[in-house]
Amino acid sequence: MKKTVAAILAFSMCISLASCSRNSKYSLDKIKLSDAERSWSCPDEKYKELLESYDGYTVTGTIAVATDKDVVYLYAEDTLEKDGKTKVSQDTVFDIASLSKVFTAVAILQLQEKGKLSIADTLDKYFPEYVTGKKITIYNLLHMNSGIPDYLNNPDPFWNISGEDAANKQISEILLDKTTDEELLQAMYKAPLDFEPGSEYGYSNTNYRLLAFIIEKLSGMKLSDYLKKNIFDKCGMKKTTSMATGDMTYVPADFAELVQYGFSDKDGYPACPNNSRGDGGIHSCLTDMVAFDRALFGGKLLSQKSMEILLKDENGYCCGLTKNKNGYSHDGSSMTCVANNKITESEEFGHVYVISLERTGVMPQMSGDDPLSGTRYTKGTFSDGVYVNEYAKLKLNVPKANTPLTEAELLQMMNSYLSDARDKKDKTILSATRYDASFWDGINSISIEIQFLNTKIGVPGDPDFTEDECLDFIVDYNRAGIEKMGGTQTEKERTKVKLGGQEFIRASTVIDYYGKMNMYYYARKLDDNLICMINISMPTDKNIADYEKMFE
């Protein structure tokens, strides 16, 4: 018999509170990693099965697996913090970026508990100049269904600008804290909605920036001060800050291009303490994040009724968390960091928390060489909305809504894949793969990725590595990652299709994670060494044909 949401929450809170009250000998403050051993696994036999999923797992930063009582696994990469002396550890401070959103949501619900607001309030109550705000509620902001454009990831409609140069200039102004709150609000008042409020999901950082403004207005405190008093201090988060600079201790990598475009400070760190508040801007470490998760799900920050609101799923989004098959999660990405917080509900342990904080731009290759050196690969070009790769005979008319990813972002994606790969075969193939281009439609959440695989070093000894074998790898690799997060992936029948007159083998899958999504993978062997791979993520069955027609 299924339990109600309230019953599950009550059950899990009791377990969490009881567990947290005990003094565990397996806590982060008691674990010391040596220079030789950069990982630690809990020796308690009851965690043996849980450890099988994570033991030996490495990242380019830090990762912890914990229950409501104990730490089960800890890893920190073998490198130094910015002082040049201290080893990276569970106390190394990173930018957690969008993981900050759940803190903002908690603050809003705390204010509702105090009678300061109602999440049914419309925005015109707090922003009288915002005429459109009469039909948008705080609830819409929390659940990402307001329709307000994203001021950061989709700047053109929000700021009424056009073109890549204008967008880069505007983003730089935001990321270097040169844009004022009033300028942001005035732009929002004029910006058209992406859709009618409440009608659909649309991830927008603007939603949580507005929530920060509301928190400050009603509390009479800066967001940073409110969070410290009402969340950080209550959880015992000693190293966590909001709206601060100079406190992060990780060392950014490969940030020259970010500095060039004005997307970070001269050392590669985020430089927008004001402009990232609410939707980002919190700096934290594993020790503090585990403490926060335990406090949140242990009932120390919100009432049971507020927790039900926080965890209510609206088209896959709750309040700063996304719902998946067995729990909740959220990703965060700043210019030189990626973060992930995953909470799995467990009858045996109460909750299992998996938190990773990583540096981007760190590319662990099988060798120091370009993975495609020695092949006939040529770098594709993108100009005036058209992507071209001469050697692959690919030409793609990129829709206007799609934003091309920078080289740094492409490197970050590849690094993320490599960090997740545990199998030696997977690492070998991924290390022989290079992203050529990727285009992201932030409104419809659809991406197009183009990669090339050097089969000579990716599958040594197998000169006849086929398109089907390549697709087997892609599908199996993604299935393992999805199943690890509690989702499922089902592959449909493979077919031959033509993209711009070139024949590809296509594999299509349906992912059931926080809702059903389509993934389409394409492979074409170009020569003895090189395979071209294309991924189109999350189109519908109806519009995939339109995307395939974009290739001439």
490 forms bridges with which residues in the sheet? 510
Do 255 and 395 lie in one domain? The reply is: no
Q: In this predicted model, what pLDDT tens digit does every residue of 486-496 receive, in sequence order?
A: 778 899 999 99
Question: By three-state DSSP, how is residue 231 classified?
Answer: helix
* Residue from 274, 146, 134 nearest 216 by CA: 274
Q: Determine the Cα–Cα distance for residues 529 and 151; give it in Å rounded to an integer.
A: 43
Do 399 and 498 lie in one domain? The reply is: yes
Mean pLDDT across the stretch 245-259? 92
Query: What's residue 347's pLDDT?
Result: 85
pLDDT band at 300 (very low <50, low <70, confident <90, very high): very high
Query: What's residue 482's pLDDT?
Result: 80
Q: Determine the Cα–Cα distance for residues 187 and 247; give it in Å rounded to an integer.
A: 31
Q: Determine the Cα–Cα distance for residues 400 and 339; give it in Å rounded to an integer.
A: 29
Do 177 and 238 lie in one domain? The reply is: yes
Q: Determine the Cα–Cα distance for residues 436 and 405; give it in Å rounded to an integer.
A: 10
Do 431 and 330 lie in one domain? The reply is: no
Q: Determine the Cα–Cα distance for residues 164 and 476; give it in Å rounded to an integer.
A: 36
Do 420 and 333 lie in one domain? The reply is: no
Q: Determine the Cα–Cα distance for residues 134 and 139; give it in Å rounded to an integer.
A: 13
* Residue from 113, 120, 125 nearest 140 by CA: 120
Q: In this predicted model, what pLDDT tens digit does every residue of 372-410 receive, in sequence order?
A: 888 999 999 998 889 999 999 999 998 877 888 877 677
Do 417 and 524 lie in one domain? The reply is: yes
Which H/E stretch holds residue 355? strand 350-359
Residue scoring higher pLDDT (277 or 401): 277
Mean pLDDT across the stretch 113-140? 98
Q: What is the CA radius of gyration of the chain?
A: 23
Structure-token pair, residue 388:
């071209």
Query: What's residue 399's pLDDT?
Result: 82
Do 273 and 124 lie in one domain? The reply is: yes
* Residue from 440, 447, 434, 446 nearest 392 by CA: 434
CATH number at residue 187: 3.40.710.10
Which H/E stretch holds residue 295? helix 286-297
- Tell me the pLDDT of the chain averaged across its residues: 89
Do 402 and 503 lie in one domain? The reply is: yes
* AA letter at 70: D
Residue 484 inside a domain? The answer is yes
Mean pLDDT across the stretch 522-530? 95
Which H/E stretch holds residue 440? strand 433-441
Helical pair 101-113 and 286-297, crossing angle rounded to 10 deg = 40
pLDDT for 252 beyond 90: yes
Residue 516 inside a domain? The answer is yes
pLDDT for 483 beyond 90: no
Structure-token pair, residue 379:
């770098």
Sign of the CA dihedral with 157 first, then 162, 166, and 168 last: positive
Do 187 and 247 lie in one domain? The reply is: yes
Q: Which residues contact 485 (CB under 8 A, 6 or more apart)?
A: 324, 325, 329, 342, 513
Residue 366 inside a domain? The answer is no
Residue 310 inside a domain? The answer is yes
* C-beta of residue 98 within 8 angstroms of C-beta of residue 333: yes
Share of the chain above pLDDT 70, in %: 92
Do 191 and 250 lie in one domain? The reply is: yes
* C-beta of residue 382 within 8 angstroms of C-beta of residue 330: no
Q: In this predicted model, what pLDDT tens digit does every residue of 403-454 receive, in sequence order?
A: 888 776 777 677 667 766 767 788 889 888 999 999 888 667 788 999 999 9
pLDDT band at 8 (very low <50, low <70, confident <90, very high): very low
Q: Dmax over Cα atoms in the chain, in whole Å?
A: 69
Residue 192 inside a domain? The answer is yes
pLDDT band at 2 (very low <50, low <70, confident <90, very high): very low
* Residue from 201, 227, 198 nearest 104 by CA: 227
CATH number at residue 485: 3.40.1000
Q: Determine the Cα–Cα distance for residues 534 and 504; give it in Å rounded to an integer.
A: 9
Secondary structure (H, E, C), 59-119: CCEEEEEEECCCEEEEEECCCECCCCCCECCCCCCEECHHHHHHHHHHHHHHHHHCCCCCC
Share of the chain above pLDDT 90, in %: 66
Do 462 and 314 lie in one domain? The reply is: no
Residue 259 inside a domain? The answer is yes
Query: What's residue 488's pLDDT?
Result: 86
Q: What is the pTM of this model?
A: 0.73
Residue scoring higher pLDDT (423 or 119): 119
Q: How many domains does the chain have?
A: 2
Query: What's residue 108's pLDDT?
Result: 98
> What are the CB-based long-range contacts (under 8 Å, 24+) for 84-88?
86/249, 87/33, 87/35, 88/61, 88/62, 88/250
Query: What's residue 364's pLDDT?
Result: 45
Question: What single-letter DSSP state applies at residue 371?
Answer: T
Query: What's residue 514's pLDDT?
Result: 59
Question: What single-letter DSSP state applies at residue 122?
Answer: B
Do 329 and 404 lie in one domain? The reply is: no
Q: In this predicted model, what pLDDT tens digit does every residue of 177-236 receive, in sequence order?
A: 999 999 999 999 999 999 999 998 888 999 999 999 999 999 999 999 999 999 999 999
Q: Determine the Cα–Cα distance for residues 51 and 41; give it in Å rounded to an integer.
A: 8
* C-beta of residue 271 within 8 angstroms of C-beta of residue 177: yes
Residue 502 inside a domain? The answer is yes
Question: By three-state DSSP, how is residue 396 classified?
Answer: strand
Residue 424 inside a domain? The answer is yes
Q: In this predicted model, what pLDDT tens digit does every residue of 12-38 receive, in sequence order?
A: 333 333 334 346 789 999 999 999 999
Domain ranges, residue 536:
381-549
Query: What's residue 65's pLDDT?
Result: 96
Q: In this predicted model, what pLDDT tens digit does every residue of 319-360 receive, in sequence order?
A: 999 987 778 999 998 889 999 999 998 889 999 999 999 998
pLDDT for 133 beyond 90: yes
